[in-house]
């Protein structure tokens, strides 16, 4: 079959057009795939960005753990020896009593007239005053402040150590001359020149406490109390004698 020139030219042009269309369509599909790849790359990048805060949150968790550790109760250490830590004799305390105290109180009637020199300590949120038979609940202001600070420091120490709150118990305070005379009739070892005569001295028992939340082993409370008293003595605020037979810490303000 003989093809004419015009027919050949038309066929040739038609073939070129078809090839051009195919190339355009193929190139468009390739471009779409490239765009899709770029879009997917952006999504991956976004997911990476959103994952970074999760990694940055780790130090926050660590710091919160450190805060929890800091809130753990402090350790109870007590003192190495009660006798060595609280050795202040009556002679040492008597000098401080005479320096900071009042003149000897003769009897309870005399004490009533000397209230301008004394502070009533019978009621306090920081300590409990025992039922007194040989003394009356009065101290010179300097000693009253010391007792208040000891009771408050004891509370604070119990709190940071995770121990239920208990009050210290004061067993002896200001003694009149009549009180001392009665004591000497029953106890020949009772000193006539007692520091308690000057309103500067008080006793805190170490084998009994007044529960606020719930009772605690006396040994635990004694350990905590000994730490508080050691600190007060090291700050030169008082002299302290560890009394074995009387079961108390005998102390005088300085």
Whether 28 and 117 map to the same domain: the answer is no
As given in the structure block, the two tokens for residue 254 are 């300085």
Nearest-angstrom CA–CA distance, 117 and 199: 9
Q: Look at residues 31, 46, 72 and tell me which one is the last residue of a structural domain.
A: 72
Q: How many domains does the chain have?
A: 2
Pick from 148, 150, 161: which is nearest to 216 by CA? 161
pLDDT of residue 61: 43
Instruction: Give yes or no: residues 163 and 207 share one domain.
Output: yes
Taken in order 220, 164, 173, 87, is the CA torsion positive or negative? positive
Q: Is residue 77 part of a domain?
A: no
Token pair for residue 36? 């899709």
* Residue 32, pLDDT score: 52
User: Is the CB of residue 146 less than 8 Å from the CB of residue 119?
Assistant: no
Read off the tokens for 252: 């005088």
pLDDT score for 46: 40
Same domain? For 201 and 106 the reply is yes
Q: Which domain holds residue 241?
A: 82-253
User: Mean pLDDT, to the nearest integer, of 129-134?
Assistant: 92
Strands (E), 114-190: 119-120, 127-129, 138-139, 166-172
DSSP 253: E
**In percent, how much of the chain has pLDDT > 70?**
72
Confidence of residue 48 (pLDDT cuts 50, 70, 90): very low
Q: Do 49 and 99 share a domain, yes or no?
A: no
Domain boundary among 27, 50, 72: 72
Same domain, 63 and 87: no
pLDDT in tens, 80-118: 899 999 999 999 999 999 999 999 999 988 988 888 899
Q: Which of 72, 98, 125 is the last residue of a domain?
A: 72
181 Cβ neighbours under 8 A, 6+ residues apart: none
| Domain match, 96 and 210 both | yes
Same domain? 96 vs 53 = no
Averaged over 60-77, what is the pLDDT? 56
């Amino acid at each position: 079959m003989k093809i004419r020139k015009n027919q050949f030219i038309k066929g040739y042009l038609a073939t070129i057009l078809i090839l051009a269309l195919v190339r355009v369509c193929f190139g468009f599909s390739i471009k779409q795939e490239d765009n899709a790849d770029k879009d997917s790359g952006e999504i991956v990048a976004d997911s990476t960005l959103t994952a970074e805060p999760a990694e940055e949150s780790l130090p926050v968790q660590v710091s919160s753990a450190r805060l929890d550790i800091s809130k753990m109760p402090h350790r109870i250490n007590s003192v190495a020896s009660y006798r060595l830590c609280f050795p202040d004799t009556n002679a040492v305390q008597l000098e401080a009593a005479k320096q900071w105290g009042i003149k000897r109180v003769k009897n309870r009637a005399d004490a009533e007239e000397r209230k301008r020199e004394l502070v009533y300590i019978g009621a306090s949120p920081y300590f409990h005053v025992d039922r007194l038979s040989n003394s009356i609940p009065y101290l010179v202001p300097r000693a009253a402040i010391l007792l208040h600070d000891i009771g408050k420091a004891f509370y604070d120490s119990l709190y940071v150590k995770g121990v239920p709150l208990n009050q210290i118990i004061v067993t002896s305070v200001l003694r009149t001359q009549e009180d001392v005379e009665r004591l000497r009739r029953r106890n020949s070892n009772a000193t006539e020149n007692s520091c308690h005569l000057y309103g500067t001295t008080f006793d805190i028992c170490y084998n009994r406490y007044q529960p606020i939340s719930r009772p605690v082993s006396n040994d635990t409370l004694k350990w905590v109390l000994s730490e508080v008293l050691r600190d007060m003595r090291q700050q030169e605020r008082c002299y302290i004698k560890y009394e074995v037979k009387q079961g108390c810490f005998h102390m005088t303000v300085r």
